[in-house]
């Protein structure tokens, strides 16, 4: 673990360990915003004038020290209330890795923001106040993070400075959490004692937590596996856009048909045999291009253009997949859904589902059960209200090509759109 | 079928792939998108990303510049040359035309015009029926932007409602609109200033000269460096006050905008490599140092965005 505290260097010899997206969540006053402020501050990317404007505001509020939480509370209403009500995104870099932090609000009524922030994260930091231990909200956030498929959880037991840096308290909270996690099938949890306020164990080890031998928070982040890096996945390429520049002056482009999209999982090389869905026709990849230039191969998360040997009709919403491992075409889906709208979800209305680049009309056919996100208890329900999470069945007007969410977060996810106002009203994970 | 070990994208490759994906979603979902191009460094990156996304085809959108009339000549020249070299259509709409129409009324003749771009932009949206404007704003520029969606919905008055944003999950973007409504799409939301410079360096992108260290006459006004006696087609801007002492200073601009409210920083960085080093070790965030108009109120960007500003 070198270079964790050095400012971003641009010398080409520095290894690039990619980009990690993580989520911070916790109850009100657990010190999330302070922790983020500390990460930014200690990784030396909080810049001088942002600080001076925060200093001014801190003084106005009669605070003695700089309030690091003012760094993340962005919207006017939030500043007035002193709380965070919407997901805020923050950035920092250690020079070897870039980080995108999604700061999710802790309030009960904002479950949808937590799910939103979790959807793109590969790691979640769950903050626990050392004085208060594991709370209902701690359990809820952990369950949600797990439900949305975040593979790595870090339980950060914060405010250790207020409990005399007691190892006993740390151990007790850890045991409490482990007992709960075991029941819910939550694995791969990392525990760390820290003080966001003083900075102990965030970036610097400090001197007050000598009994803790594990890595600092930043070391955990630097070593955390990135999305898609842990196992081999099958090739999935939803087509976003078809490039047909036949009207250009260049006759060489007359027959050009480029299928543009992002490799959602797996990899592809020129010469690979692929299948196009829904037609089911197979062809060989003639070229893998970026910006019109051949690059030979593409990996997960790369945006490229594929050219096929054969003239197959392909359009937006179709999916190019690995020939021997195509996803299932489904006209009925079972999913865990989180409902975001004040208008309830029931069986009366038709909605639009967007799955990868495909949009289909959908109707709810059954609610298997609602989930109590504090206990995971299953409850009967006739309709879903805002912030409800439930297991449901949808019937679709056309098939989608889906993998179970647990196997593939990209081809297992969908959003629900209300066509009357085009709002995004729900998010689903296919089972 | 090949099954190589998973490959980790470098952070720049990841950001590039995300931006391309977003641009293609706009092209796939919207019927009349437009890309805002000012000749500034962020929008220069956007054009390279559009090339990566859509070549060998043409861009599926024209370029639009809302010209305040308060721009550095060399940025405007660069804008025109760059659009022509790409062979893409550039539309220019001017705040001064809105002033003539009476839709923009200045409080006083010297008032900065950044804020008034909103009016001209909304007029252009109506004139061409654009349903999506693609812009180069980044979340690290300002606190209100940190919470804005990548596909940000605007009602028929161009207003952003921060309390009522569409949830944005995974990489499933919802750019749907009804007639008269509008989406602002921000493909480089997740980039920082440093990422932009790293990308410019990696892609060997050309920039207007004012981004590099150069000597120009300035005055120091309330701690900020103010360039003076700047020629524009409409006349000389930033005439120094009689009691101000004009000095020659080596400066560069970190952002280009209205001449009357964009301050340069003192710098001897005359190459992209030097700018990169300076940016990596800098102590001043981009807007705070260089936008004189953002300092007025803690929440002034949020206020302007609610009114339709980019």
Same fold, A236-322 and A328-430: yes
With CB atoms and an 8 Å threshold, state whether A19 touches B147.
no
Q: Which pLDDT value is given to residue B296?
A: 44
CB A316 within 8 A of CB A308: no
**Structural domain spans, chain A:** 19-223, 236-322, 328-430
Is the N-terminal amide bond of A278 cis, ω within 30° of 0? yes
How far apart (Å, rounded) are the C-alpha atoms in residues A112 and A164? 36
Interface size A-B, in CB pairs within 8 Å, comes to 225
With CB atoms and an 8 Å threshold, state whether A112 touches B20.
no
Q: Which residues of chain A neighbour B302 with C-beta distances below 8 Å? A: 74-76
Find the closest chain B residue to A53 by CA distance. Answer: B298
How far apart (Å, rounded) are the C-alpha atoms in residues A217 and A199? 10
With CB atoms and an 8 Å threshold, state whether A250 touches B56.
yes
Q: Structure tokens of A340? A: 């975001």
Q: Structure tokens of A227? A: 């999305």
Q: Which pLDDT value is given to residue A61?
A: 58
- 3-state DSSP assignment of residue B75: helix
CB B183 within 8 A of CB B153: yes
Residue A141 vs residue B59, higher pLDDT: B59
Residue with tokens 């079928």: B1
For residue B271, the distance in angstroms to the closest alpha carbon of chain A comes to 14
Task: Respond yes or no on whether ipTM tops 0.85.
Answer: yes
Q: Which pLDDT value is given to residue A38?
A: 86
Q: Which residues of chain A neighbour B20 with C-beta distances below 8 Å? A: 262, 303
B160: which residues sit within 8 A by CB, 6+ positions away?
B148, B152, B153, B154, B184, B305, B306, B308
Residue with tokens 């195509």: A326
H or E stretch covering B27: helix B11-29
How far apart (Å, rounded) are the C-alpha atoms in residues A65 and A37? 13
With CB atoms and an 8 Å threshold, state whether A357 touches B25.
yes
Least confident of A99-113, A197-211, A294-308, A395-409: A99-113
Question: A328-430 falls under which CATH superfamily?
Answer: Translation factors (2.40.30.10)
Residue A387 vs residue A392, higher pLDDT: A392
**Phi, then psi, of A352 in degrees rounded to 5:** -110, 135
Domains of chain B: 12-195+300-306 (3.40.50.620), 200-294 (no CATH)
Please give chain B's pLDDT, 310 residues, in tens: 444 445 789 999 999 999 999 999 999 999 999 999 999 999 999 999 999 999 999 999 999 999 999 999 999 999 999 999 999 999 999 998 999 998 998 888 778 888 888 899 999 999 999 999 999 999 988 777 778 899 999 988 888 888 788 999 999 999 999 999 999 999 999 998 889 988 998 999 999 999 999 999 999 998 889 999 999 888 899 999 999 999 999 999 988 888 988 889 999 999 888 887 777 766 455 555 555 554 444 445 566 566 666 5
- 3-state DSSP assignment of residue A139: helix
How far apart (Å, rounded) are the C-alpha atoms in residues A248 and A234? 36
How far apart (Å, rounded) are the C-alpha atoms in residues B25 and B295? 35
Tell me which residue in B7, B11, B176 faces A417 most closely, judged by beta carbons: B176
CB B71 within 8 A of CB B253: no
Mutate to test the interface with A, among B11, B161, B182, B187 (most CBs of A within 10 A): B11
For residue B190, the distance in angstroms to the closest alpha carbon of chain A comes to 8
Q: How big is chain B by its Cα radius of gyration, in Å? A: 19
Find the closest chain B residue to A272 by CA distance. Answer: B1
CB B118 within 8 A of CB B171: no
With CB atoms and an 8 Å threshold, state whether B165 touches A226.
no
Residue with tokens 């802790």: A106
Q: Which architecture characterizes domain A236-322 according to CATH?
A: Beta Barrel (2.40)
With CB atoms and an 8 Å threshold, state whether A299 touches B9.
yes
Burial track B239-256 (b if 16+ CB lie within 10 A, e otherwise): eeeeeeeeeebebbbbbb
CB A287 within 8 A of CB A268: no
Q: Quick: pLDDT tens for A335-374.
A: 999 999 999 999 988 999 999 999 999 999 999 999 988 8
How far apart (Å, rounded) are the C-alpha atoms in residues A23 and A222? 15
**Phi, then psi, of A135 in degrees rounded to 5:** -110, 170
Q: Which pLDDT value is given to residue A65?
A: 53
Q: Whose CA is closest to A361, among A412, A318, A395, A319?
A: A395
List, in sequence order, every residue forming a beta bridge with B172; answer none if it has no partner: B169
With CB atoms and an 8 Å threshold, state whether B6 touches A272.
no
> For the whole model, what pTM was predicted?
0.90
Question: A19-223 falls under which CATH superfamily?
Answer: P-loop containing nucleotide triphosphate hydrolases (3.40.50.300)
Q: Which of A52-56, A301-305, B162-166 ranks highest by mean pLDDT?
A: A301-305
Mean of the pLDDT values across residues A109-135?
A: 90
How far apart (Å, rounded) are the C-alpha atoms in residues B253 and B266? 9
Residue with tokens 């990303």: B49
With CB atoms and an 8 Å threshold, state whether B2 touches A87.
no
Least confident of A40-44, A150-154, A310-314, B1-5: B1-5
How far apart (Å, rounded) are the C-alpha atoms in residues B114 and B263? 14
């Amino acid at each position: 673990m070198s270079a964790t505290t050095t400012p971003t260097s641009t010398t080409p010899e520095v290894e690039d360990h990619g980009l990690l997206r993580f989520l911070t969540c916790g109850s009100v006053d657990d010190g999330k915003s302070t922790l983020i402020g500390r990460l930014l501050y200690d990784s030396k990317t909080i810049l001088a004038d942002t600080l001076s404007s925060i200093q001014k505001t801190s003084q106005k509020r009669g605070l003695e020290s700089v309030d690091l939480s003012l760094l993340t509370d962005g919207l006017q209403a939030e500043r007035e209330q002193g709380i965070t009500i919407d997901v805020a995104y923050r950035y920092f870099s250690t020079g070897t890795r870039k980080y995108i932090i999604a700061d999710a609000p802790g309030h009960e009524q904002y479950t949808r923001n937590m799910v939103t922030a979790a959807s793109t994260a590969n790691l979640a930091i769950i903050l626990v106040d050392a004085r208060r231990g594991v709370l209902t909200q701690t359990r809820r956030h952990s369950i949600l993070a797990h439900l949305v498929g975040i593979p790595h959880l870090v339980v950060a037991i914060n405010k250790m400075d207020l409990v005399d840096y007691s190892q006993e308290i740390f151990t007790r909270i850890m045991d409490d959490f482990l007992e709960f996690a075991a029941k819910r099938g939550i694995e791969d949890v990392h525990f760390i004692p820290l003080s966001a306020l003083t900075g102990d164990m965030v970036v610097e080890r400090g001197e007050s937590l000598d009994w803790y031998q594990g890595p600092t928070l930043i070391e955990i982040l630097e070593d955390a596996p990135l999305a898609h890096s842990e196992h081999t996945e099958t090739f999935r390429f939803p087509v976003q856009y078809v490039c047909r520049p036949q009207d250009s002056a260049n006759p060489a482009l007359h027959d050009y048909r480029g299928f543009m999209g992002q490799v959602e999982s797996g990899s592809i090389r020129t010469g690979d045999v692929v299948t196009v869905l829904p037609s089911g026709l197979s062809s060989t990849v003639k070229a893998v291009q970026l910006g019109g230039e051949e690059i030979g191969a593409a990996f997960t998360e790369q945006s490229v253009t594929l050219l096929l040997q054969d003239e197959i009709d392909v359009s937006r919403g179709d999916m190019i997949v690995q020939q021997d491992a195509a996803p299932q075409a489904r006209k009925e889906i079972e999913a865990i859904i989180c409902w975001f709208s004040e208008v309830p979800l029931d069986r009366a209305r038709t909605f639009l589902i967007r799955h990868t680049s495909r949009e289909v009309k959908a109707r709810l056919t059954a609610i298997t059960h609602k989930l109590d996100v504090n206990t995971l208890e299953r409850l009967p329900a006739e309709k879903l209200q805002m912030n409800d999470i439930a297991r449901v069945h949808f019937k679709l007007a056309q098939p989608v090509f889906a993998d179970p969410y647990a196997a593939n977060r990209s081809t297992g996810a969908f959003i629900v759109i209300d066509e009357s106002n085009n709002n995004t009203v729900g998010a689903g994970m296919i089972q | 079928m090949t099954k190589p070990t998973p490959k980790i994208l470098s952070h720049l490759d990841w950001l590039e792939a995300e931006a391309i994906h977003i641009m293609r979603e706009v092209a796939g979902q919207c019927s009349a998108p437009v890309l805002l191009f000012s000749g500034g460094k962020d929008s220069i990156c956007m054009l390279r990303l559009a090339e990566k996304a859509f070549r060998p085809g043409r861009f599926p959108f024209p370029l639009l510049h809302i010209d305040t009339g308060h721009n550095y000549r060399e940025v405007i020249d660069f804008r025109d040359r760059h659009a022509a070299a790409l062979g893409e259509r550039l539309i220019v709409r001017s705040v001064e035309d809105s002033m003539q129409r009476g839709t923009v009324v200045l409080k006083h003749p010297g008032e900065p015009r950044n804020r008034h771009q909103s009016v001209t932009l909304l007029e252009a949206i109506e004139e061409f029926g654009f349903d999506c404007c693609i812009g180069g704003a980044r979340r690290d520029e300002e606190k209100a932007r940190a919470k804005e969606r990548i596909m940000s919905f605007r009602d028929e008055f161009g207003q952003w409602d921060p309390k009522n944003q569409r949830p944005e999950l995974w990489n499933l973007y919802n750019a749907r609109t009804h007639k008269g409504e509008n989406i602002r799409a921000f493909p480089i939301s997740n980039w920082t200033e440093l990422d932009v410079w790293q990308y410019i360096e990696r892609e060997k992108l050309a920039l207007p000269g004012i981004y590099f260290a150069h000597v120009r006459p300035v005055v120091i006004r309330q701690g900020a460096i103010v360039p003076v006696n700047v020629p524009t087609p409409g006349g000389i801007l930033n005439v120094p006050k009689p009691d101000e002492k004009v000095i020659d200073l080596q400066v560069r601009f970190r952002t280009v905008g209205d001449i009357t409210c964009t301050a340069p920083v003192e710098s001897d960085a005359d190459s992209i490599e030097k700018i990169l080093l300076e940016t990596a070790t800098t102590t001043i965030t981009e807007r705070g140092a260089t936008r004189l108009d953002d300092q007025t109120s803690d929440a002034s960007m949020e206020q302007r965005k609610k009114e339709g500003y980019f």
